[in-house]
Amino acid sequence: MRNYLKLLEFLKGHRKLFTVAVITMFVSSFFEVFQLSLLVPMTDRIFNNKQIVIPNNLPKILIDIVHKLNGIEPATLFPMFLIGFAVMMILKNISIFAYQYFMNDLSQIIMRDIRYRLYEKIQNLSLDYFSKKRTGELISRITFDTNVIENAISYGVTDLFRQIFIIIMCVITAFVIDPKAAFIVFIIFFVIAFPMGKLGKKLRKISKGTQEKMADINTLLLETISGVKLVKAFCTEDYEKNRFGSHNFDYYKLRMKSIIRLSLVSPLTELIGVAFGITILLWFGQRLMHGELSFGIFILFFGAIMSIISPVKKLGNVNALTQQALAANTRIYEIFDAEVSVKEKPEAIVLSEMKDRIVLKDVDFHYYKESGLVLHDINVEIRKGELVAIVGPTGTGKTTLANLIPRFYDPCRGTVQMDGIDLKDVTFLSLRNQIGIVTQETILFNDTVRANICYGHQNATQKEIEEAAQKAYAHQFIQKMPQGYDTIIGDRGFRLSGGEKQRISIARAILKNPPILILDEATSQLDSESEKYIQDALDKLMQGRTVIAIAHRLSTIQKADKIVVLDQGRIVGMGRHEQLLKTCELYMRLHAMQFHL
């Protein structure tokens, strides 16, 4: 029930539109049932020229209407009937169009809002969340799971109200004619409700499995399409086809289980309806033959009872759609309810540009408690204008340490301060605007060269963009591209070489012109000649700035003011290059390995 209420929460803020949609549904449902009553004058008075015979227990207003109809000649009543029928059909179809339009508009608005809320939440989540979740799974929740909810709202909610309105009106019509016979209607609900409830529970379980399997498929697609070069390089096309085929077949089996159960709804309700139809025929057939009521009244009662079968079948489908939506809703709320581990305080202050130093004091850090500490008792001071290099074996925490400075993560113990201010007390914008980052993994978007360089600085002029590109030694190859700076570079810069991608990434950092630079193997993708040019450009860019350089290649950081040597998350050496060659065994070993000493 709680999950169902959460699903209904998506209607909040759209109550006016929902109310209008429900009202138009009620009107269309009224005309749907009212058109059955037209069978009475058409059958008895117009085509058979007989009196309409009704039970004596009907309300006086209905008896008066019947007496008036009985007093009108068929030839006079016929054109009146045609005009009334035409007007009713026009109004009915106008109301049908109206409720369909309003309900579809409502469902699309809700889907728009859910997708935006999901994307907004994902953008606000901390980096540690993404280390636990697969990208394909998150994409599946924004696309596939929201589509399931869309079906539940656009079709499910529509049918829920409209079919209930039709059932209520049919029941009222039947009760007015014969309360005893109409009591059968209630038995229909009890008989059908039990198997529908069983099917619904099973469908929710199957639907959850279906949605999880679709997340697996999305993850596999994302990995293999983005890594298509690696797949081809290792000739693993058949292996990946088999993996996809396995996931795809599992999804097919789950979908078929769901379809089989959905398909049971219609014949089940149909057979039950037929059984009750036969009962009604036996009940009313005797009274009809004895002239206790006219054929038109019998048709009206029979039509009202049988008209309940289709809405009940549709309500069975509504139950199935709702169960699927509840499963999707659970997965969506897993994202909505996810805790943001790195939060900006409501009273966070604006951090002014760095004037003195960054200090990491007694810092411990872990991604998961179970995996243990990644950084142990880190104490580092980075003064303004210094080039501080972080070196050490792979997986020893170099990038993690650097990620604490823009506050991508918070330490488990200790503090990270800038000019004596704890970074937990400042706004993200004022902190991260001061920091430029060039990562080892080049991140580019499927957009123009210009858009990638000025990312985050969309107001940059063409001159500023070109100057940044020239400093990164990217201007020359950009000019040779088909549309120059307006060339689309493809998904993740697929059309560029590794060195070209890295130079565009460096140009982006140069354009930002921040007082603090974090260079995570910034020249790792470049050839020796380009690396020399880029290193010269970075040397100029680093003048007067604070630089944290993470490097495996010691040749890039020998001029550092301070070198921090990490081993298994601990600082095992700190000082200048010449000093560490004498005092730090690990640094000496790394130096000897790289220079073959």
Burial (0-12, 13-18, 19+ Cβ within 10 Å), 595 = exposed
The CA-atom distances, in angstroms, between 461 and each of 276, 458, 515 are 77, 9, 21
Task: For residue 263, give both structure tokens.
Answer: 């398909």
- DSSP lists the bridge partners of residue 363 as 378
Residue with tokens 């639907």: 207
| β-sheet with 516-520: strand ranges across | 435-438, 516-520, 546-550, 387-391, 562-567, 570-575
pTM higher than 0.75, yes or no? no
Its sign, for the CA torsion 494, 141, 262, 108, is: negative
Its sign, for the CA torsion 44, 46, 47, 51, is: positive
d(CA 219, CA 238): 18
Taking alpha carbons only, the member of 373, 392, 400, 407 closest to residue 571 is 392
Range 343-433+560-597: architecture per CATH: 3-Layer(aba) Sandwich (3.40)
Contact between residue 163 and residue 221 where contact means Cβ atoms under 8 Å apart: no
Residue 372 gets the label, from left (phi > 0), alpha (psi -120 to 50) or beta, of left
Q: What pLDDT is recorded for position 210?
A: 79
Q: What pLDDT is recorded for position 359?
A: 94
Burial (0-12, 13-18, 19+ Cβ within 10 Å), 212 = middle
Contact between residue 255 and residue 303 where contact means Cβ atoms under 8 Å apart: no
d(CA 146, CA 298): 47
Contact between residue 472 and residue 438 where contact means Cβ atoms under 8 Å apart: no
Element (H, E) at 147: helix 146-151
d(CA 34, CA 37): 5
Q: How many residues in total does the chain contain? A: 597
- DSSP lists the bridge partners of residue 417 as 359, 422
Contact between residue 432 and residue 473 where contact means Cβ atoms under 8 Å apart: no
The CA-atom distances, in angstroms, between 503 and each of 7, 455, 470, 498, 509 are 47, 14, 10, 9, 10
Half-sphere exposure of 50 (CA within 13 A, CB side): 14
The type of residue at 412 is C
Residue with tokens 């969340």: 129
- DSSP lists the bridge partners of residue 349 as 426
**How does pLDDT run along the chain (597 residues), one tens digit per residue?**
565 566 667 777 788 888 898 899 899 888 888 888 887 778 777 777 787 777 666 677 777 777 888 888 888 888 888 888 888 889 989 998 998 888 888 888 888 888 888 888 888 888 877 777 777 778 888 887 888 887 777 777 788 888 888 888 888 887 777 776 667 666 666 666 666 666 666 776 777 777 778 778 877 877 777 667 667 766 778 888 888 888 888 888 888 887 777 677 667 766 766 776 677 667 666 666 766 667 777 777 777 777 777 787 777 777 777 777 777 888 888 888 888 888 888 899 999 989 989 999 999 998 877 778 889 999 999 999 888 999 988 888 888 899 999 998 899 999 999 999 999 999 998 998 898 888 777 778 878 888 888 888 888 889 988 888 888 888 888 888 888 888 888 776 777 777 788 888 888 888 888 899 888 876 555 556 666 666 666 666 677 789 898 875 666 677 888 999 999 889 999 999 889 888 899 988 888 877 654
Q: What pLDDT is recorded for position 59?
A: 72
Beta strands at 413-418 and 357-365: parallel, antiparallel or unpaired: antiparallel
The CA-atom distances, in angstroms, between 6 and each of 142, 145, 286, 453 are 17, 15, 52, 42
Contact between residue 219 and residue 134 where contact means Cβ atoms under 8 Å apart: yes
List CB contacts of 469: < 8 A, sequence separation 6 or more. 453, 475, 478, 485, 503, 504, 507
DSSP letter, residue 321: H
Is 2-336 a domain of CATH 1.25.40.10?
A: no
Taking alpha carbons only, the member of 109, 327, 97, 304 closest to residue 208 is 327
DSSP symbols for 201-222: HHHHHHHHHHHHHHHHHHHHHH
Half-sphere exposure of 449 (CA within 13 A, CB side): 28
Extents of the domains making up the chain? 2-336, 343-433+560-597
